[in-house]
Structure 1
């Protein structure tokens, strides 16, 4: 039996794989950030393909890309601050009440 996949089906599968890796690797902040970036890149690629398919402008994808880069920079700054304060990137080290 041959399975035929559409491009968006592959993006859905990859999105759920990224979400699954986010759920499994929730003890390290770096792995959480990598999973978020993987999911954001998949959303960006699917949005670009969708906007090109309907001949729409790409300004929204540019704004989305700017916000995802800002989210990545903010996450890396939190990671660096956490490593400097606590010495590692385990989530269990934090005392968040």
Structure 2
């Protein structure tokens, strides 16, 4: 008999809220709040149940924050910024 295929979630790495808090520079309570707001993906696992946060969701969150900061900076840089420049579609007058 062949080996059972791995489940798609086998490569998902879960982090403790304290680890996430250290990466983000926030408190553990703020990490849990981000999970409740669905800005981070997490679940309570084990017995007793403890919060764990999906590592990729932390990376995605940081990418989203960097993109938001880039857009805000672009907005402040030019009072006549066009929507394509801000949102990344269509004609761009001043490429980065």
Given the two structures, how large is their TM-score scaled by the length of structure 2?
A: 0.35
Pick the structure with greater CA Rg: 2
**Structure (1/2) with the larger helix percentage:** 1
Q: Which has the higher contact order (CA 8 A, sep 6+)?
A: 1
